[in-house]
């Protein structure tokens, strides 16, 4: 059996990825899945229930999942269960290896959360991640998506779509972040139709998440919140990611220093040179799929 007895302490997006990996791994190995109660029970249909077991549960770590083939993983299941709970850290990093069935088959939002969108318009979800990445996560702002990224993305969309038929939905819990303020100002200055996400600026999240799930186009941040919205709800969304972020996080290229203007907390744990010398390219970010880098 593949189990989650304690859902990850990470936030909503991480929980979605953890649950997806649970179901995918159980499906791939043709064994039962068991999951403790979590927020997903309130928002999704047919979430897997908790099952008691007399077997010992052994944590299966994310790097083991990447390193081992199916037969080796099955061998680990002999006389024991495998657990994906913390500190397994099997989240976004194992997504591409494990995901062989469409997550929409088992992550279907309850009807009450599905937004009523006008089919005559193109809906563009804009997710802006502020909060901890402004220095509070000790990464010295390396995951910041600058206002310029969002402006260029909007400009690109209006060059390929009828702007009069576009509705931009701004979703964020950080309304003081400069990227949030400048993005809204840009939408206003260019007379573009936009709305604030249903949970804009609050710690409530499910209606913003559902809106992103059913948008036609997503202008994404580095958050698992919006990355999870890619594979739930509407199929074949058009996904935009930041080239500048890819350069920094994947390629360790810090030639563009513009993001440093937006750091709020400086912990100075590593210089860019130290970061480049110690950080190896992360395969699960290199595997990231998108339609357009801006």
Query: Is the domain 112-293 a CATH 3.40.1130 member?
Result: no
Burial class (CB in 10 A: 0-12, 13-18, 19+), 45: exposed
Cα 34 from Cα 208, distance rounded (Å): 28
Burial class (CB in 10 A: 0-12, 13-18, 19+), 188: exposed
pLDDT for position 271: 86
Cα 189 from Cα 55, distance rounded (Å): 62
Q: Quote the tokens at residue 281.
A: 């390219």
Q: Domain ranges for the chain, please list them.
A: 2-108, 112-293
| CA dihedral of residues 155, 161, 165, 169 (deg, nearest 10) | -50
User: 141 and 134 in contact (C-beta within 8 Å)?
Assistant: yes
Q: Quote the tokens at residue 151.
A: 């402006």
Tens of each residue's pLDDT in the chain, 294 residues: 999 999 999 999 999 999 999 999 999 999 999 999 999 999 999 999 999 998 999 999 999 999 999 999 999 999 999 999 999 999 999 999 999 999 999 999 999 999 999 999 999 999 999 999 998 888 889 999 999 999 999 999 999 999 999 999 999 999 999 999 999 999 999 999 999 999 999 999 999 999 999 999 999 999 999 999 999 999 999 999 999 999 998 888 899 999 999 999 888 888 888 888 777 666 667 777 788 999
Cα 5 from Cα 30, distance rounded (Å): 19
Cα 90 from Cα 256, distance rounded (Å): 32
Of 136, 142, 178, 133, the residue nearest 265 (C-alpha) = 136
User: 243 and 270 in contact (C-beta within 8 Å)?
Assistant: no
Q: Peptide bond preceding 224: is omega within 30 degrees of 0, i.e. cis?
A: no
Q: Using a pLDDT cut of 70, give the percent of the chain over it.
A: 98
pLDDT for position 281: 60
Phi, psi torsion values for 255, nearest 5 degrees: -65, -30
């Amino acid at each position: 059996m593949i189990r989650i007895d304690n859902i990850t302490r990470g936030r909503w997006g991480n929980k979605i990825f953890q649950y997806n990996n649970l179901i995918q791994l159980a499906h791939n190995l043709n064994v039962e899945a068991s999951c403790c109660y979590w927020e997903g029970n309130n928002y999704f249909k047919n979430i897997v229930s908790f099952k008691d077991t007399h077997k010992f549960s052994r944590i299966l770590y994310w790097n083991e999942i990447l390193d081992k083939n199916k037969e080796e993983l099955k061998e680990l299941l002999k006389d024991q269960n495998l657990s994906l709970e913390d500190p397994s850290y099997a989240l976004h990093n194992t997504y591409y290896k494990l995901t062989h069935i469409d997550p929409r088959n088992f992550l279907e939002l309850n009807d009450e959360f599905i937004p009523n969108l006008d089919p005559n318009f193109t809906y563009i979800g804009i997710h802006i991640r502020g909060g901890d990445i402004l220095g509070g996560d000790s990464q010295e702002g390396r995951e910041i998506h600058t206002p310029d990224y969002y402006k260029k993305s909007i400009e690109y969309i209006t060059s390929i779509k009828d702007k009069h038929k576009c509705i931009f939905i701004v979703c964020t819990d950080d309304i003081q972040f400069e990227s949030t303020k400048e993005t809204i100002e840009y939408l206003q200055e260019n007379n573009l139709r936009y709305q604030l996400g249903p949970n804009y600026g609050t710690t409530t999240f499910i209606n913003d998440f559902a809106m992103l799930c059913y948008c036609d186009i997503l202008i994404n941040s580095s958050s698992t919140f919006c990355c999870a919205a890619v594979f739930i709800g509407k199929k074949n969304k058009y996904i935009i990611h930041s080239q500048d972020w890819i350069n920094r996080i994947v390629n360790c290229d810090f030639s563009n220093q513009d993001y440093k203007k937006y750091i709020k907390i400086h912990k100075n744990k590593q210089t860019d040179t130290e970061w480049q010398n110690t950080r190896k390219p992360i395969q699960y970010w290199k595997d990231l799929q998108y339609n357009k880098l801006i």
